């Protein structure tokens, strides 16, 4: 397929970004080959809601009942992390739905940009994993501000054929033997918090001044070892596949994609604990009232068990709907590090929480990246 045809299919929604990225990886290309496609939003008709989410989550199979009902997917715009999303919305961007992870919801609620969600409008709500309904901070004064959609872990993804380790530990991302072939997420939650865990912080999400100082020192030690800080999972997938990287912090989807391509990678269970996260939907204060019904239909479609089974098999993430796991074989679940009982995995990691003293940590992180 020619370059222009690829661009047209992606821009019109005929090809998802996930399939587009897989195609690039299969031929050793990168998004740099197609610079005009960076964060292009899909172009549905104006009566559909605008969903502000992570790249790759516009895949129609993740909300198939919505597309079946309305004939097409909604409109999308993409962010690299929640800090970027928050800044864009504070600057005036007004989506109808957003898809943040739980640790950011209290901040967004306090900023007054999200409104309560009515679970009675969601036919699949009764089948959501009970423990995921009870994440602290999602319900205030009996009002729910967030609907869980999926969950997973942040850990170390490494090339088994290129790395030698005695024990599985986050310390691999500080191993001087692999200088220039390591990568770390360019974010507080998946970058600074990892360093805090390695530094031995008692509570990495609420560090003391001394723990912050130790965390900064570790980040400074790591900086010259990194090839780069990453913002796109596709970048590290391609770099690990080629051997440019031997290890990186990553999410489940990178592991699932690379294993599917036959790359000898392993998704680590670090002795210090992987980071467990859950992401979901917020209804925005500035949502177009004429699109709210469809926004609820979109959330409900994402929560459908068939949507969840697809996400489990194709992305390697856990899903909010417990019935989704019944649609996936034991073998496939085991290959993805999942269980028929989601709580077995959910309880095994360090669950993400709101980050205390976030402005100071963000400033510190920027200093480190600037070489200060």
Query: Where residue 264 sits, what CATH number does that domain have?
Result: 3.40.190.10
Residue ranges of the chain whose pLDDT lies below 70: 1-43
Same domain as 120, residue 102:
yes
What residues does 350 pair with on adjacent strands?
275
The confidence score (pLDDT) of residue 1 equals 52
Same domain as 334, residue 235:
no
Same domain as 97, residue 17:
yes
Same domain as 122, residue 34:
yes
Tokens (6 digits) for 11: 């821009």
Same domain as 146, residue 73:
yes
Domain extent at residue 217 = 152-275+351-369
- Residues contacting 191, CB < 8 A, separation 6+: 184, 185, 219, 229, 249, 365
Same domain as 122, residue 26:
yes
Same domain as 358, residue 245:
yes
Please tell me the pTM assigned to this model. Answer: 0.86
* Domains in the chain, number: 2
Same domain as 67, residue 183:
no
The confidence score (pLDDT) of residue 13 equals 46
- Residues contacting 13, CB < 8 A, separation 6+: 42, 43, 44, 58, 60, 72, 73
d(CA 366, CA 360): 10
Same domain as 133, residue 22:
yes
Same domain as 320, residue 251:
no
What residues does 76 pair with on adjacent strands?
51
The confidence score (pLDDT) of residue 36 equals 36
Distances (CA, A) of 339 to 72, 105, 303, 305, 335: 33, 27, 18, 16, 10
């Amino acid at each position: 397929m020619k370059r222009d045809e690829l661009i047209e299919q992606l821009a019109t929604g005929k090809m998802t970004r996930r399939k587009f990225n897989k195609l690039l990886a299969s031929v050793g290309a990168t998004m740099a080959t197609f610079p005009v496609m960076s964060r292009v939003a899909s172009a549905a008709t104006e009566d559909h809601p605008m969903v502000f989410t992570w790249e790759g989550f516009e895949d129609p199979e993740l909300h198939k009942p919505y597309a079946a009902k309305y004939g097409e997917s909604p409109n999308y715009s993409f962010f690299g992390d929640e800090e970027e999303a928050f800044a864009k919305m504070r600057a005036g961007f007004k989506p109808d739905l957003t898809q943040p992870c739980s640790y950011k919801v209290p901040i967004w609620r306090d900023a007054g940009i999200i409104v309560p969600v009515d679970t009675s409008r969601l036919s699949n709500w009764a089948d959501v994993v009970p423990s995921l309904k009870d994440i602290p901070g999602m319900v205030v004064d009996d009002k729910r501000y967030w609907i869980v959609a999926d969950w997973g872990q942040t850990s170390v993804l490494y090339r088994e054929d290129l790395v030698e380790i005695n024990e599985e530990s986050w310390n691999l991302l500080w191993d001087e033997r692999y200088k220039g072939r390591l990568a770390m997420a360019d974010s507080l939650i998946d970058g600074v918090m990892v360093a805090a865990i390695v530094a031995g912080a008692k509570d990495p999400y609420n560090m003391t001044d001394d723990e912050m100082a130790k965390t900064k020192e570790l980040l400074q030690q790591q900086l010259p070892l990194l090839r780069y800080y990453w913002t796109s999972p596709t970048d590290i997938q391609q770099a690990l596949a080629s051997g440019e990287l031997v290890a990186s912090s990553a999410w489940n989807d990178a592991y699932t994609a690379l294993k599917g391509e036959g790359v000898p990678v392993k998704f680590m269970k670090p002795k210090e604990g992987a980071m467990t996260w859950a992401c979901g939907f917020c209804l925005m204060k500035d949502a177009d009232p004429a699109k709210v019904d469809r926004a609820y239909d979109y959330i409900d479609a994402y929560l459908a068990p068939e949507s969840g089974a697809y996400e489990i098999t194709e992305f390697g993430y856990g899903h909010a709907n417990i019935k989704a796991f019944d649609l996936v074989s034991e073998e496939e679940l085991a290959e993805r590090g999942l269980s028929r009982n989601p709580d077995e995995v959910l309880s095994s990691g360090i669950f993400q929480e709101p980050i205390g003293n976030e402005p100071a940590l963000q400033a510190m992180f920027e200093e480190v990246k600037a070489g200060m």
